[in-house]
Amino acid sequence: MKERLNHTMLCDFYELTMANGYFQSDMAHQICYFDVFFRSVPDGGGFAIAAGLEQVINYIEALSFDEEDIRFLRSKGCFDESFLDYLRHFHFTGDIWAVPEGTVIFPKEPILTVRANAIEAQFIETFILLSLNHQSLIATKANRIVRAAKGRPVMEFGSRRAQGPDAALLGARAAYIAGCTGTACTQADQLFGSPAMGTMAHSWIQMFPDELSAFRTYCKLYPNNATLLVDTYNVLRSGVPNAIQAFKEQGITDCAIRLDSGDLAYLSRKARKMLDEAGLPGCKITASNSLDEYIIRDLLLQGAQLDSFGVGERLVTSKSAPVFGGVYKLVAVEDGSGNIFPKIKISENAAKITTPHFKKVYRLYDKTDGKAFADLLTVHDETVDDTAPLKLFDPDATWKKSTFVNFRAEELLKPIFIQGRRVYDTPAIEDIRAYCARQIALQWDEVKRFENPHNYYVDLSQRLWDIKQELLQSQGV
């Protein structure tokens, strides 16, 4: 990695005004707990994919205010001078637990938990949310597209349509974690190891006297990576015939053509027939042009002869659902003796009522088929006995209870920082990608449906359910 930009001041201004208020109100050392969770899966899907933790780790390790930051804050005229002096020595000293990147995640369960003093815990909210929200959104969208392709490679082509450089780079990273084979973004390969891929634009062909000359030159230069864009003029009358001639003149059989416009299903079928008749059955056909999971699914249902896809703007911006909606909510405070007191946020909108307390998240797997069937939230000091029947409570329905047997339980939240020290080794991106694929394989096909997916259980232990009900009743709910 190149030298990291320090994003300490990338925060909402109210994080600083609250911190100043805590400092002057003798609450700076109040220990509190915050959860990051999201309320609904983008695109109405059955699950999401966690990504962005590595950037959170880098941010936490680099947290510090320099003199330029202090001067700027002083110029705002609302910060106590002793607070500004405190910021000169500021660094994170708390604890963080999180699900590993690539984990399949579901609404209303913690994907990251912070335990720290009030100033530190409050201050890091903005960056944690922007990092997890963005990359989890793109990873979730990318995996939908990858699944629609049914094993055919999907390349991320969206840099030029992304909302800025960071979105392009980190979007490419998230897409690779979620199953894309590579990216058009060179710097994403340089920084993160997401393989850079690409061939030519229409301008390459237009620069030459004719299409065949452009193809011949490219094949001579790149005989081991010859993918020719065949729709600059006319796909079937000139593009494919000229590509065939260029391939055969150079003796190239490991090759491909790309379709970027027109009726992709029809053109790919016709092109496949022409390539096969020309003795090039190994020549692949790739497609691009404003694709998404639904278009790819429909193309394959129509018998399109496509071997891979390049997907740009609708992936890197998650165009159909551009907001992930993760939130950062206080769930508990701790006194000087280590006693933890749960906190709850209540709303007239039931979906916005939080689940209180410092919690664990367990994933439950059926021992018969190995598939995940439910997640269980417990109080932090509870353990799950997977040798005995387990009763779960739906947090949104006081009447609904379920009992499960013959399962194994896995704790999802892993320690990342303890007392400000990183205790987690960030995996290589290839390992994160492989872990993500394994996670998805453990989900039922019904959860993977694009429309009306199975509602995966995220339930509460008896004790946590009771605590939530007591807090609701104490507030007259």
Q: Which domains does the chain have, with CATH numbers?
A: 13-86+95-115+326-474 (3.20.140.10), 198-303 (3.20.20.70)
Report the distance separating Cα 104 and Cα 175, nearest Å: 14
Report the distance separating Cα 112 and Cα 107, nearest Å: 13
Cα–Cα nearest to 233, from 249, 199, 198, 209 = 209
Cα–Cα nearest to 86, from 173, 165, 22 = 22
Backbone φ, ψ for residue 305 (5° rounding): -95, 70
pLDDT for the residue numbered 401: 67
Cβ count near 152 (within 10 Å): 17
pLDDT for the residue numbered 60: 96
C-alpha distances (whole Å) from 152 to each of 14, 90, 379 are: 47, 49, 43
C-alpha distances (whole Å) from 259 to each of 286, 319, 374, 379 are: 6, 22, 43, 54
List, in order, residues 6 or more apart from 383 with CB less than 8 Å away: none
Per-residue pLDDT of the chain (477 residues; tens, 9 = 90+): 334 467 999 999 999 999 999 999 989 899 999 999 999 999 999 999 999 999 999 999 999 999 999 999 999 999 999 999 999 999 999 999 999 999 999 999 999 999 999 999 999 999 999 999 999 999 999 999 999 999 999 999 999 999 999 999 999 999 999 999 999 999 999 999 999 998 899 999 999 999 999 999 999 999 998 999 999 999 999 999 999 999 999 999 999 999 999 999 999 999 999 999 999 999 999 999 999 999 999 999 999 999 999 999 999 999 999 999 999 999 999 999 999 999 999 988 888 899 999 999 999 999 999 999 999 999 999 999 888 888 776 666 555 567 788 899 999 999 999 999 999 999 999 999 999 999 999 999 999 999 999 999 899 999 999 999 999 998 876
pLDDT for the residue numbered 2: 36
pLDDT for the residue numbered 397: 57
DSSP secondary structure string for all residues of 342-368: E-----SSGGGPPPPSSEEEEEEEETT
Output the pTM of the full model.
0.95
C-alpha distances (whole Å) from 102 to each of 136, 412, 434, 439, 448 are: 9, 12, 8, 7, 16
102 by Cβ neighbours in 10 Å (0-12 / 13-18 / 19+) ranks as buried
Question: Which residues of 140-282 form beta strands (DSSP E)?
Answer: 154-156, 182-183, 226-229, 255-259
pLDDT for the residue numbered 386: 82
Residues in the chain: 477
Give every strand in the sheet of 154-156, ordered side by side: 182-183, 154-156, 308-311, 284-287, 255-259, 226-229
Six-digit token string for 142? 């990318």
Judging by DSSP bridges, how do beta strands 308-311 and 154-156 pair with one another? parallel
159 touches 316 (CB < 8 A): yes
Map residue 74 onto helix, strand or coil. Answer: helix
C-alpha distances (whole Å) from 79 to each of 9, 74, 211 are: 15, 6, 66
85 touches 403 (CB < 8 A): no
Identity of residue 113: T
136 touches 49 (CB < 8 A): yes
C-alpha distances (whole Å) from 334 to each of 83, 98, 342, 354, 373 are: 23, 20, 9, 18, 33
pLDDT for the residue numbered 352: 87
